[in-house]
A and B are shown apart, each in its own frame.
Chain A
Amino acid sequence: MLRRLCVVCLLCLGLSAAWIEIGSAEDIAPAPTPVAENEALRGHFVEVRTLQGFSKPFKSSGTFVLVPRKGLIWDSQQPFKTTTVITPEGILQIVNGHEALRLSTTKYPGLDRLYDVLSAAVSGDDRPLKTAFDVQRQTGPDGWRISLVPLHSDSVAMGEIRSLTVVGRDFVESVIVRMLDGDQDDMAFSSQTVSHQNLSADESSLLGAFRR
């Protein structure tokens, strides 16, 4: 359960970052705007989750900040004020101002694997992705599309994912996660900009939450 959270978060982060960097290296055009070390990618998101057994989908929206090598802050404003921070050192979640979850990668098995994939992806190495997924890429006039299907459905980290689809042009524009049990997660990204980091004090402290 926890791993699902990690996988999806990771992929949002890892893919956008990885794509940004390896895109140009492998000469796949059009490439997303690269995010340099000292820059940050900011934007809005809308997430719609459709779960089996529930009468209505769960829709949330907010902003996100992606900082290379430091992590991702996923700040959901509607319908709940929830902040999720994913850094190489761990995962932190704050709900309505109360810390709801704090997991250090060094203490929980499984998280470390994800971190390795993440750091590899961020550094432009997509081999870890290829060890876990069958990767299909398509490019068209409207942008590009990448489909990921787990190679080993029994692998615990990927156990419940049927497929991932990532679509983008200059930036990643949407991610669709389909689960084996029919659940589905649609994330759409908009108003994305890459600029100098200019992290606020809050953002810095969130990203540094696991530093000792």
Chain B
Amino acid sequence: MSLRTGLAIMWLAAVAIAAAYFGSRLLNGLPLQSDILALLPPLERDQALGEVQKRVEATLARRVVLLVSHRDAVKAKRAALLLARGLQRSNLVRSMAVELDPKSQKRIASAYFPFRTGLLSKADRTALLAHQGRQVVDRAEASFFTPGAIANAKLVKLDPFLLFPRFLLGLPGPQSRLEVRDGVLSTKDHGITYVLLSFEVNGDPYSAAFQSTFGSMFRTSFDATKRVVPGIGLIRAGAIFYASEGTTVSMNESSRIGLLSTLGTILLIYFVFRRLRPLVLSLVAILVGLLWAFVGTLLAFGSIHVIALIFGASLIGISVDYCLQYFCEYFDSGARTPRERLRRVLSGVLLGLGTTIIGYVTLFLAPFPGLKQIALFSVAGLLGAVTTILLWYPILDKVDIGPIRPAMLRLGALHWSLWQSSRARIVRIAIVLFCLAAAVVGFAALKVDDDVRHMQSLSPPLRQEEAEMQRLTGAGVSTSFLIVRGSNEQQLLETEEGLDRSLSALEREGEISQFQSLAQYVPSVAMQRSDRALVQQELVRPYLTSYLMDIGFNEPPEYSAPQEFLTPSALPAEGPLTALRALDVGGEGQAAHVVLLSGVAQPNRVAGALKRQGPAVTFVNLTSDWSALFGIYRYYALALLIVSAVLMYPALAWRYGFLAGIRVMFPAIAATGLAPLVAALADVRFTFFNAMALILVLSIGVDYSVFCRETFGERKPVTSLAIALAAASTILGFGLLALSSVFAVHAFGITILIGILLSFLLAPLAGDATPGPRSAA
């Protein structure tokens, strides 16, 4: 057994093991991820803050708000309660808040009551600080004389100045346009009653598995509700709906694009070669490549992102390039045996693989977890495919095939004559002029876009629902918040109390519509302590005796200050205050709260107003943060592009010499530079994703140039044909991504499409102008 056969058998064993592993993972369900922001690195702030922000994002992502509607208010409420119960039964949701029944109100009051001596409403605190104790006493005394007054002996004994009811009434109420009607939060619009339901999903909203479980449970519950209460409507807001829509779209697209790509490639190969062997062998190489791509990604990351899957579908397009280089040797009468064919393309394929891998490895250098996945997926896949070609083709492709279909070769020759024949000068000039014009006009038309809202192609119907919810409730899904950090919970509450004034001012000025902080519900111990002292000093000492005498109350009040203080954990976890728990976002050894802001019109102005708060408070606007990040990383991608060009050059210079190395790179670099400018003519904006695509255009483009450079004399048309087929298959793979409705994928695809066409067109420029061999590889 020769070394070659031995290696082929070892490769077979390795492939079998990989297949077994992949099969076992498939049986347990492929772990898919669909969060597009997971493609991005954590924000470049200090790590602790990044972690807190991640938790806040995770919490926000789990939130779901529904509006259940009906023309009949009673039916709307009934439907909302039914739906809530249905969802709750599933255990897939938690922190459900729907009913504001008097019982839950009572529970809240009872939770606060033991700590009442330290609880003052904002207005009362202000009055007492201004030494207006008399006003508070008058109010208490007057309340005995008003119709149906609240005061009685029991209350006076426990809370003589009736401060506690006022504290309770001072707690923040529901969102601006919502009303409490019949024990539920609702709003009316054009005769339709909308009842609000809010909850958290009890799982990862970006996990495809959870999405499908939740989705079917949700549909079942809603349909069941609809059967009982016909005619109900539903408006949804929440990341889970977007994410699950995104997963469905991506999955459908990746299978559709993958299928198109595969079918197109098969047709192409069959059309050119008119026999099954190249087809079958190409499929073998592609499948083995894909197998390694999946296995490598699963081993390294544990799960696969749907975007990696979509890009991965295009891997077929690249790995087939190498197969095509090999099979096009069928057209070369000098290559009669598989070994001879392999020997002839070996240097080109290896050099091409090397430069392509350099391109992908730069993707790997980018600190984007998602792109690392794409890079690993592709590198593993390509290595798998090329190894298969090298080790298996000489064994499997035994038959001696004579030269076939010279018409094809004539086509290939045309490609060369375009650049080398004197008859094609006019066409050449036209091409150069077109490129120059496109570059100038395109440059003027080039628009850069980093807005994260444009990157995520959110489902339009869901966006409409969200806008409708915003209109009806006066508050949308918040993407702005403050992170408050400190060494312990009390410090956080104190910071939030300090923030209260600025936030209230912003609220009055209309810069924000509402804010929600834990300190609004739970004063800090320091505040409670000072409030107790204030009550003693401004009310109890000066007025208590005379006040009690005035109202004729003879028993001594039970007004001794308790030693305990109210803390967030004392509040009921269920009921209307359930959402408060999510405001505590501290992790191990780190205390952190989030203050949610809604209706932020201009993030910059809010950020500016809060600047004075110091390092303990961080304003976060996810939209502008992510957009800024996309901007930074767009530059980063362009830098990577240059790095990858610089990395490729030494290999080329080593093989071809300094100047020729530059010449080999020229067509690819020209295509890379022109692609975004030509795209701009079609009003395609330049984003981070287009920049990443250019890295691939460069490495694939260099492949084509290398193939052209490696060929000589009679073989030129053969090589050209192979490149034409490669470009066609790459376009079938990557270019088809331009059809995707996922913006990132679309941007990537369209850049590749244009870039590859240009690369193919310009590739012969790298070739030797003389027909003779320069190097017999």
Contact = CB atoms under 8 A, between A and B. Distances in A.
Interface of A: 1-2, 4-9, 12, 47, 49, 51-56, 58-60, 74, 76, 79-80, 82, 84, 93, 95-96, 98, 100-101, 103, 105-113, 156-157, 177, 179, 181, 183, 185, 187
Nearest to A175: B147
Contacts of B510: none
B145 interface: yes
A2 B551 CA distance: 20
Contacts of A51: 144, 151-153
B147 A54 contact: no
A5 B146 contact: yes
Given A106-B179, A107-B174, A110-B102, A5 B150 contact: yes
Nearest to A103: B169
Contact of A100 (B139, B182, B551, B554): B139
A51 B153 CA distance: 7
Contacts of B180: 106-109, 111-112
Contacts of A74: 146-147
**7 closest Cβ contacts across the A-B interface?**
A8-B148, A53-B153, A106-B179, A1-B150, A60-B145, A55-B552, A156-B102
Given A80-B138, A107-B174, A52 B149 contact: no
A5 B143 CA distance: 10
Given A51-B152, A74-B147, 16 more contacts: A2-B169, A5-B146, A8-B148, A51-B151, A52-B153, A54-B551, A80-B141, A95-B138, A95-B143, A96-B142, A107-B180, A108-B173, A109-B102, A110-B102, A183-B152, A185-B148
B483 to A, nearest CB: 29
A177 to B, nearest CB: 7
B150 A187 contact: no
B577 to A, nearest CB: 13
B264 interface: no
Contacts of A103: 169
Nearest to A107: B173
Contacts of A183: 152
A1 B140 CA distance: 14
B179 A80 contact: no
Given A107-B173, A107-B179, A112-B182, A49 B139 contact: no
Nearest to A8: B148
Interface centre among B146, B157, B180 (most CB of A within 10 A): B146
A89 to B, nearest CB: 11
Contacts of A49: 144-145, 149
A156 B144 CA distance: 21
Contacts of A113: 182
A93 B646 CA distance: 78
Nearest to B105: A109
Contact of A6 (B105, B148, B551): B148
A113 B101 CA distance: 12
Given A1-B165, A51-B152, A80 B552 contact: no
Contacts of B152: 51-53, 179, 181, 183
Contacts, number: 123
Contacts of B16: none
B227 interface: no
B100 interface: yes
A93 B147 contact: no
A53 B555 contact: yes
B553 A54 contact: yes
Given A112-B180, A113-B182, A4 B148 contact: yes
Nearest to A81: B142
A188 to B, nearest CB: 13
A47 B150 contact: no
A187 B27 CA distance: 79
A183 B139 CA distance: 21
A88 to B, nearest CB: 13
Given A109-B102, A156-B102, A2 B145 contact: no
Contacts of A8: 147-148
Interface string B58-89: 00000000000000000000000000000000
A156 B138 CA distance: 29
Interface centre among B100, B103, B147, B552 (most CB of A within 10 A): B147
Contact of B552 (A54, A79, A105, A157): A54
10 contacts: A1-B150, A5-B147, A53-B156, A55-B553, A55-B554, A58-B145, A58-B149, A74-B147, A95-B139, A106-B179
A144 B260 CA distance: 88
Interface in B169-191: 169, 173-174, 179-183
Contacts of B145: 47, 49, 58-60, 76, 79-80, 82
Contacts of B398: none
A8 B146 CA distance: 10
A140 B484 CA distance: 71
Contacts of A112: 179-182
A9 B148 CA distance: 6
Contact of A9 (B100, B135, B147, B154): B147
A183 B183 CA distance: 29
Contacts of A100: 139, 142-143
A153 to B, nearest CB: 14
B147 A12 contact: yes
A5 B149 contact: yes
A177 B144 contact: no
A107 B146 CA distance: 22
Contact of B165 (A2, A98, A106): A2
A161 B661 CA distance: 97
Contact of A84 (B135, B141, B147): B147
A2 to B, nearest CB: 6
Contacts of A84: 146-147
B254 to A, nearest CB: 49
B662 to A, nearest CB: 73
Contacts of A76: 142, 145-146
B234 to A, nearest CB: 23
Contacts of A58: 144-145, 149, 551
B607 interface: no
Contacts of B181: 106, 112
A80 B148 contact: no
